[in-house]
Amino acid sequence: MSYLNGNKFSLSENSGFSSLSTFDLRPSITESNYILVKLTGPLDRSKKRILSELHIQVQQFLGDNTFKCRYEPTDIDRIREQDFIENVQVLSPLLKLPPSLKTQSDYEFHDEPKSVDLVLHQAADKSVEALMQEISQITGISPENMSVRADSSIIRAQVSPKDLLEIAKIDSVGAIEEVHNLTLLNNVARDIIHADIGDSGVGSPTYYKGKGQVVTVADTGFDMGDKANTHPAFANRVRDLIPVGRTNLTSDTNGHGTHVCGSVLGNGKSDAMGGSIQGAAPEATLVVQALLTDDGKLFGSSGKTLGDLLRDAYENHESRIHTNSWGPEWDWRGQLPYNNASEELDNFVWSHQDLVVCFAAGNSGRAATPKGHIGAQAAAKNCITVGSCENLRSSRDYTCQVYDAKGLVKGDPDKISGFSSRGPTREGRIKPDIVAPGGMILSTASRAIQPISTFGKSDDKLWQFLSGTSMATPLVAGCVAVLREMLIANGLPNPSAALLKALLINGAVDTGNKRELQGFGRVDLARSMILKGKTLNRDFLEAEVADEDLKDQFTTSFNMDRYMDASTPSATLKVTMVYTDVAGALLQNNLNLSATVEIPGQDRRVRYGNMGEQENIDPAPSDGVNTVEQIVWKNLKREATVAFNVAVGGTMMADVQPFALVWSVEIDPEVEQ
């Protein structure tokens, strides 16, 4: 099955063209420069060369050996003549409309007017100005009432549903997406994630606190909106405050943003609330992009997009960590797919591979859904999507209990918060990536408003409790800052986002919940740290594979006795591969991880990324969905030799694909003395 803009379809000769054959709205090849091409097998180097010679520009992999392509010539038969091509069709306008903008019949649209983003194709033929005039002729809307976004790649307008199909027929329009309202989705928490880590392990004097790292928080605003007059937990560490939602205003009249900032990098104390209160990276530097509008919404009429925020943080503030505790409101029609917001994020990180972007999974965990909740920005491949587990203080909105000022009712960090949005994504991808405490989090309160007591009463007006994946996400961003500081201090000047994500995920603790709830587990900073010359049971590497003969796979090997002494009878090996992929709902560069174990006198055994304990399968299984793959192998002996292999597993749109590998060897609990 193939996917485009949330639509499932097939170009297989024996299945027809999905429901689109019933209402054949496809333009002729003389009217469109965009086609769908289905191959008989994977796209290899020789096929790439032939397609290029045919003047076919392959733009995106859609699944099932099907690709969206740009093709300017009008002779489509010469494409069909190629023996490796199963089918070719001109792109149908119906595939530009997501299911949420269509009813059961492809022609019956909802009556309610829609605010939509008209996403242009790559290399669109017409200028934005010309397209706005054409849209105006269809809709009667003046171009002055439209806005241009994302480097002139998106036109936003309020459109009558009856006009959507006509707009979809414009060849330069690649997708039409409904605009959804955005919503806002710590001392105890530091203990749970083991943020106090020094050169001798957990609980030793903390060497790494995020010093030298610039973290950008895109949220409601910051405290009083003044870099010089800050909440005491941020003294002398606010680098810049950028107004986005309101002209020249960055104060936090909501309270959400200031609380989030404190969870990332706050450093304060309160005698009334138990003493020291710190975020995960209490020496990092802060940049805040204030999104709140005068009417309490996010972004407003600023015209800014997520891509604009990422670019500003990266280019103007030298920030390599960007955290976001907001996302689309839950839609009663169900889970949102990977969309232009997801693609914008993935595009930016693909071209800036040292930028880590964190996104809250969402707070729709109680909403009825046949599949999952996570979509849009949080469904992007190249971000760290964060769910929420319980705190040692339970969340009031989860248990409906009354707490005293110090939150004496305790929760269980191995339980996933009831509000935390579930995965997988609509494309089947494992999300969230990781979970962190998000219930009853104590952090900084904005001095621009009265204290908030919704989630518990604080005895100190400078500190307040909040709950949500919004609170879990900044803790993870702070952990990234600490890991980045550690890597730089140990000789890696520019760590990749893939490596930082792999370190976090490999160090995560399995809570015993399903993947769709916990992702790869609860963040544990101590288990993610690799201290040069001191951490003897964890390691990492960065490498790449290329779409070339002899370079399309990478192998590294070691003996288990490298990480196990003679007194250790058995141990558990965990290895995690992460890579940053080209933008697209499906994998554009498909890498697969495998691990081989050989023990003298025994048969060779092979396991595969995300395939559990399955072994020695022929042909080898391939995870064609995830950019994160993990293998956990218990009860390995010292005499075992281990080899990790990363190989191109099918589609490879780019010429080169970097990746990160992180692994650890832990003594099996049952044999610990």
Active site annotation includes 231: no
Q: What angle do CA 306, 309, 311 make, to 5 degrees?
A: 110
DSSP 173-206: EEEEEE---EEE--HHHHHHTT--EETTEETS--
The active-site residue, picked from 2, 470, 496, 622, is 470
Give dist(CA 415, CA 56) in Å, integer.
Answer: 51
CB under 8 Å to 197, separation ≥6 — which residues?
204, 206, 207, 208, 482, 525, 526, 529
Give the C-alpha separation, 425 to 515, whole Å.
12
**Phi, psi at 226, each rounded to 5°:** -135, 120
Distance CA 501, CA 229 (A): 34
Cα–Cα dist 216/214, whole Å: 7
End-to-end Cα spacing for the chain? 52
Marked catalytic residue, from 256, 259, 317, 322: 256
* One-letter identity of residue 507: G
Q: Are 264 and 279 in contact (CB under 8 A)?
A: yes
Taking Cα atoms as reference points, which of 119, 106, 101 lies closest to residue 160? 101
Going along 403-552, which residue ranges are E strands?
Answer: 434-437, 441-444, 463-466, 538-546
Q: β-strands 441-444, 463-466: how paired?
A: antiparallel
Q: For 141-273, where are the alpha helices, taking DSSP H only?
A: 164-168, 187-192, 256-265
Angle CA 617–618–622, to nearest 5: 75
- 474 vs 496: CA distance, rounded Å: 19
Q: What is the C-alpha separation between 333 and 363, in angstroms, rounded?
A: 16
Q: For residue 310, which phi and psi values (nearest 5 degrees)?
A: -65, -45
Marked catalytic residue, from 117, 163, 219, 397 = 219
Q: If residue 627 lies in a helix (H) or strand (E), which one and from where to where?
A: none
Answer whether 319's CB lies under 8 Å from 212's CB: no
| Catalytic (active site) residue 302 | no
CB atoms within 10 A of CB 18: 17
Known catalytic residues are: 219, 256, 470
